[in-house]
């Protein structure tokens, strides 16, 4: 690994070279324009031009950064509980993490995709995948909150996900691990992989109006590992392209056994054809169990439903929906050019980048130009589908995105660089180092029909020597490049939350004007909503106690509560009465075994609490809300089980001692 000083000197020398030898830049005269720091500088009070939504990997979350500043704007909890926001801890959000395995508080989020209209981002939703317990989440970009999570049956390791068609008709997910179908007896020898394991693709429909997701159908495919994918667009709209590895069908020591063949496959899927078969009743109803979880901004609550059936199309029987074509050495990224004509395969162990032609693919299919079959699926001839190869691009190509000038940008893991090449003539035109070992990369609108170019971010796996050390574990890094000129220029390094995998960069204009400021009180349909302090109350139902509470600067109502007994199950239903932007209140009570609540204006959230000892328990607002935030507190009295202390609640007044002093 190079010494960072050498690199800094090299970068400095390189920028000097650019500054003096390039032809006259647009703002010649402004020496600052060639300065990297100024390109990433967004002055205090100014907004970034783009949002960058970044997967959090094993943190299970997604984060939003400003580009070009690299400022972290928000961490959005998706698949993992988040005590900061009460996500997965409040009674309202717990159902979001329900699955057919019960409550699952963690996952591994790898890929982010924006919703699209006419092949470009529309700023409505972001989607993310759960790798471990297969699920897809939809994040509402009005609220920056997870609005829906759907579980995927017949899947194991939902890595090949989520991928979006050009009008968000479907969010598509391929299984990483092939597994026996859910309705078959899975209690079988692992080494019966070749006979019993299947790979499944899930087509999740997305409702146009509200984004609600449902599994429209699944396609059962041969047992291989699906890795990454893109939907076709433009000329190839109606198709999907999935990279596949482990066509050796190994079930052990994959690092050796799944790297035997010189070529694995890309699988082309004609999903329009699959839709026709579905309509014609060619699907088989299969009995499964999967969770469908939705959050409502009206009831401020999530509901979880276990669904029990999917319709499965069998690729083996329906001959013309799936086709394989060979791709060298452990394909990983599988990316589609802005016009939809070129499909770029990236073999992790390859020393070239094959570029396939959709037009040639169609001709090869029409001519049945097959070299054989794999588990009932025709294999097309490599040369018949190939447009050309990018020669000597670097080592370990992984992922490719595009700009608005006919260029492609490929991340090179092994040689640790970004390589820019021309889509038409496949010539490498520029290369720039990353620090170090880049995985994914993204260009502004870089997977759409109309990329914006301008910025590219590389997400690196290794940061040794980039930042101050932080013990054994170092932060992963993102690196921002200005790609508006002929030469790519590194302008910023910034650490990420969790391990970044895929990310997307979207124009801030598509999101910022729709950003929700607060929830309207008059629309609140939460069953335990308090429509003002006058309606607050404490209601006992057996050993359950419901506290209808409100929060407003700077007090809780009620703030004195007595008559709680040991053995009670206490629910604090806190409504934030504010109707102004950015005035959340928090709520915490001593000894609570979950987390705080963080309640937005107009919202109701519930904390469940079991008192563990007799005594007085303080509670308080956790979010600094006014100069008197520190005064925003209260007390709860817990008496022994069977006590006859009456249920009393108040704010700003004291009951006569004779009422409250009674104890058994
Ligand atoms: Cu409300 Cu601090």
For residue 436, say if its preceding peptide bond is cis, omega within 30 degrees of 0. Answer: yes
pLDDT digits (tens, 9 = 90+) for 464-516: 889 999 999 998 999 999 999 999 999 999 999 999 999 999 999 999 999 99
pLDDT digits (tens, 9 = 90+) for 35-94: 888 999 999 999 999 999 999 999 999 999 999 999 999 999 999 999 999 999 999 999
According to the model, what pLDDT value does residue 660 have? 60
* Model confidence band, residue 11 (pLDDT cutoffs 50, 70, 90): very low
Residue 544 has pLDDT above 70, yes or no: yes
629 ligand 1 Cβ < 6 A: yes
Residue 31 has pLDDT above 50, yes or no: no
Residue 527 has pLDDT above 70, yes or no: yes
623 ligand 1 Cβ < 6 A: yes
According to the model, what pLDDT value does residue 17 have? 34
Whole-angstrom Cα distance, residue 96 to residue 291? 9
Which has the higher per-residue pLDDT, 646 or 263?
A: 646
CA distances, 401 to each of 100, 314, 351 (Å):
36, 32, 18
Residue 25 has pLDDT above 90, yes or no: no
pLDDT digits (tens, 9 = 90+) for 452-475: 999 999 999 998 889 999 999 998
Whole-angstrom Cα distance, residue 313 to residue 286? 10
Average of pLDDT values for 354-364?
A: 98
* Model confidence band, residue 2 (pLDDT cutoffs 50, 70, 90): very low
Residue 661 has pLDDT above 80, yes or no: no
Average of pLDDT values for 323-338?
A: 94
Average of pLDDT values for 638-643?
A: 97
Q: Which ligand 1 atom is the nearest neighbour of the CA of 586?
A: 1
625 ligand 1 Cβ < 6 A: yes
Ligand 1: distance of its center to the CA of 56 in Å?
29
Q: Which ligand 1 atom is the nearest neighbour of the CA of 625?
A: 2
Whole-angstrom Cα distance, residue 30 to residue 393? 35
555 ligand 1 Cβ < 6 A: no
Ligand 1: distance of its center to the CA of 655 in Å?
26
User: Could you tell me what percent of the chain has a pLDDT over 90?
Assistant: 87
Range 360-367 contact pairs with CB under 8 angstroms and sequence separation of 24 or more: 360/384, 360/385, 360/386, 360/387, 361/268, 361/323, 361/325, 361/385, 364/325, 365/320, 365/323
Ligand 1: distance of its center to the CA of 550 in Å?
11
Q: Which ligand 1 atom is the nearest neighbour of the CA of 584?
A: 1
Residue 30 has pLDDT above 80, yes or no: no
Average of pLDDT values for 159-176?
A: 97
Buried b (16+ CB within 10 A) or exposed e, 601-610: bbbbbbbbbe
pLDDT digits (tens, 9 = 90+) for 174-200: 999 999 999 999 999 999 999 999 999
Residue 19 has pLDDT above 60, yes or no: no
pLDDT digits (tens, 9 = 90+) for 241-300: 999 988 889 899 988 888 788 889 999 999 999 999 999 999 999 999 999 999 999 999
Average of pLDDT values for 568-590?
A: 98
Q: Which ligand 1 atom is the nearest neighbour of the CA of 630?
A: 2
Q: For the chain, what is the mean pLDDT?
A: 93
Ligand 1: distance of its center to the CA of 252 in Å?
55
- CA-based torsion, 428, 432, 433, 435: positive or negative: negative
Ligand 1: distance of its center to the CA of 202 in Å?
45
pLDDT digits (tens, 9 = 90+) for 429-458: 999 999 999 999 999 999 999 999 999 999
Average of pLDDT values for 139-144?
A: 98
According to the model, what pLDDT value does residue 656 have? 82
According to the model, what pLDDT value does residue 34 have? 60
585 ligand 1 Cβ < 6 A: yes
């Amino acid at each position: 690994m190079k010494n960072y000083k050498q690199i800094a000197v090299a970068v400095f020398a390189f920028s000097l070279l650019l500054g003096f030898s390039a032809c006259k830049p647009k703002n010649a005269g402004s020496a600052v324009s060639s300065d990297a720091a100024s390109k990433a500088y967004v002055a205090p009070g100014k907004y970034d031009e783009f949002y960058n939504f970044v997967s959090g990997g094993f943190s299970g979350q997604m984060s939003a950064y400003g580009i070009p500043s690299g400022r972290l704007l928000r961490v959005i909890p998706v698949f993992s509980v988040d005590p900061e926001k009460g996500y997965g801890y409040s009674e309202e959000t717990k159902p979001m993490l329900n699955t057919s395995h019960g409550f699952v508080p963690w996952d591994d989020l790898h890929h982010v995709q924006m919703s699209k209209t006419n092949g470009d981002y529309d700023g409505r939703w972001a989607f993310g995948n759960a790798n471990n317990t297969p699920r897809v989440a939809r994040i509402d970009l009005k609220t920056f909150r997870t609005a829906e999570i759907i579980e995927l049956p017949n899947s194991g390791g939902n890595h090949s996900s989520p991928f979006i068609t050009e009008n968000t008709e479907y969010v598509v997910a391929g299984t990483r691990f092939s597994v026996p179908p859910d309705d078959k007896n899975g209690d079988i020898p692992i080494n019966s992989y070749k006979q019993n394991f299947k790979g499944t693709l899930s087509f999740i429909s997305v409702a146009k109006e509200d984004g609600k997701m449902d599994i429209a159908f699944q396609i059962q495919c041969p047992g291989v590992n699906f890795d990454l994918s893109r939907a076709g667009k433009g000329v190839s709209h109606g198709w999907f392209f999935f990279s596949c590895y482990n066509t050796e069908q190994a079930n052990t020591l994959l690092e050796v056994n799944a790297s035997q063949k010189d070529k694995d496959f890309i699988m082309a899927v004609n999903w329009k054809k699959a839709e026709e078969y579905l309509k014609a009743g060619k699907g088989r109803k299969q009995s499964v169990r999967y969770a469908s979880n939705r959050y409502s901004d009206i009831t401020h609550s999530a509901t979880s439903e276990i669904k029990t059936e999917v319709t499965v199309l069998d690729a083996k029987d329906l001959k013309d929906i799936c086709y394989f074509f060979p791709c060298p050495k452990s394909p990983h990224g599988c990316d589609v050019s802005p016009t939809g004509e070129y499909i770029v395969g990236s073999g992790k162990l390859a020393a070239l980048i094959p570029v396939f032609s959709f037009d040639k693919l169609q001709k090869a299919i029409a001519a049945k130009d097959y070299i054989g079959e794999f588990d009932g699926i025709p294999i097309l001839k490599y040369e018949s589908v190939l447009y050309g190869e990018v020669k000597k691009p670097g080592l370990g190509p992984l992922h490719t995105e595009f700009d608005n000038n006919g260029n492609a940008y490929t991340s090179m893991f092994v040689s640790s660089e970004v390589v820019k090449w021309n889509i038409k003539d496949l010539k490498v035109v520029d290369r720039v180092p990353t620090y170090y070992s880049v995985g994914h990369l993204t260009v502004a609108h870089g997977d759409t029909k109309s990329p914006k170019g301008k910025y590219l971010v590389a997400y690196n796996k290794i940061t040794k020597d980039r930042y101050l050390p932080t013990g054994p574990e170092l932060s992963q890094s993102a690196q921002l490049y200005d790609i508006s000129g002929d030469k790519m220029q590194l302008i910023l390094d910034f650490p990420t939350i969790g391990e970044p995998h895929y990310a997307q960069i979207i124009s801030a204009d598509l999101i910022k004007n729709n950003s929700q400021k607060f929830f309207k009180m008059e629309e609140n349909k939460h069953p335990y909503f308090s429509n003002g302090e006058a309606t607050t109350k404490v209601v006992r139902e057996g050993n359950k106690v419901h506290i209808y509470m409100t929060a407003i600067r700077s007090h809780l109502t009620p703030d004195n509560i007595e008559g709680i007994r040991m053995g009670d199950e206490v629910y604090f239903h806190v409504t934030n009465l504010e109707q102004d932007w950015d005035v959340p209140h928090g709520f915490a009570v001593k000894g609570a075994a979950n987390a705080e609540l963080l309640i937005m204006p107009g919202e109701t959230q519930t904390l469940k609490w079991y008192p563990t000892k007799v005594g007085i328990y303080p509670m308080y607002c956790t979010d600094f809300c006014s100069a008197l935030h520190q005064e925003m507190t209260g007390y709860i009295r817990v008496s022994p089980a069977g006590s006859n202390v009456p249920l009393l609640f108040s704010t700003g007044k004291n009951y006569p001692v004779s009422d409250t002093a009674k104890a058994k």
